[in-house]
Amino acid sequence: MQIVSSPEEMRRIAQQVRQEGKTIGFVPTMGYLHEGHLSLVQKAKKASDFTVVSLFVNPTQFGPQEDLDRYPRDFHRDRELLENESVDLLFAPEKSALYPEGFSTVVRVEGLTDRLCGQSRPWHFGGVTLIVCKLFHLVQPQAAWFGQKDYQQCQVIRRMVRDLDFGIQIHVCPIIRENDGLAMSSRNRYLQPEERKQAPVLVRSLAAANQLFLEDERSAARLVSAIHSTLARSPEARIDYVEVVDAESLEPIETVVDPAVAVIAVYFGQTRLIDNHILGEDLSY
């Protein structure tokens, strides 16, 4: 596995790979990899001639009071995991190389980013679209893989890719969960033992709404209310948002007619966890 930190070298290698007529598959990450990331890498690997994984804790998607500095990092372990997956290239740039002095360009999706996580974290998606745009230019993939756990992020990136004519295929892959159903996330390590014990209440609340949906409930309010009731059983859980929205536009709905997704964000102490489920798809916890 090649390890590259220079953006210019990354670009040079990508150009060479494409020149040879090979396809590039890309998985952007912030590192501290878990099985969720690795499931994306495996899919990218299968579909591409040359697989690139980036590892960059992107400062522009963190707010001033957020966990940028304490975000978990373990480069050696990440490298080993990616070597085991036979990834072709690990791109791990320095912050100063991606954000030089005088940096002043904005890439932002409007509308889709106003709600849900965008309301709690107004700076977040602008940072995501900016860094993904930059990485796409450097890595030059034909396709990129993202995890459905970050449901809104996936929709935002799809919109950006369409609007800016990137011509890159965006694959959204199923949420990978711990045995007890907790969606895998690098931030799960922040959880205190008691919080960790209660955290599967997120997926159970989504499963409750899903069960109701399968029993033909179509009122968004009643589906949301089922989620609330389940979450209320966990004394540590503080709700940020619970919504049932249109699966594509993320607009609020009253009645589920088109595909809809239940999306939730819940605090345990300082740790904010997110989860989601497309209503009607399998989920038993």
Draw the binding track, 173-212, toward its own copies (x: CB under 8 A; -: no contact): ----------------------------------------
Residues between 248 and 267 that touch its own copies (CB under 8 A): 249
Is 228 a known active-site residue?
no
Rounded to an integer, what distance in angstroms lies between the CA atom of residue 216 and that of residue 211? 9
Q: Which residues contact 87 (CB under 8 A, 6 or more apart)?
A: 1, 41, 45, 51, 52, 53
- Amino acid identity of 271? T
Q: Which residues contact 60 (CB under 8 A, 6 or more apart)?
A: 99, 123, 126, 127, 130, 131
Q: How far is the CB of 55 from its own copies (least distance, A)?
A: 17
- By CB atoms closer than 10 A (0-12, 13-18, 19+), residue 221 is exposed
Q: Which of 34, 37, 76, 137 is catalytic?
A: 37
Of 161 and 201, which has the nearer Cβ to its own copies? 161
Draw the binding track, 130-159, toward its own copies (x: CB under 8 A; -: no contact): ---xx--xx--------------------x
Segment interacting with its own copies, rule: CB under 8 A, options 32-40, 98-106, 175-183, 199-207:
98-106
Rounded to an integer, what distance in angstroms lies between the CA atom of residue 38 and that of residue 183? 14
Q: How far is the CB of 166 from its own copies (least distance, A)?
A: 6
Of 101 and 282, which has the nearer Cβ to its own copies? 101
Rounded to an integer, what distance in angstroms lies between the CA atom of residue 63 and that of residue 122? 8
Residue 107 lies near its own copies (rule: CB under 8 A)? yes
- Amino acid identity of 98? L
Q: Which residues bind its own copies (CB under 8 A)?
A: 7, 11, 18-19, 21, 98, 100, 102-112, 129, 133-134, 137-138, 159-160, 162-167, 249
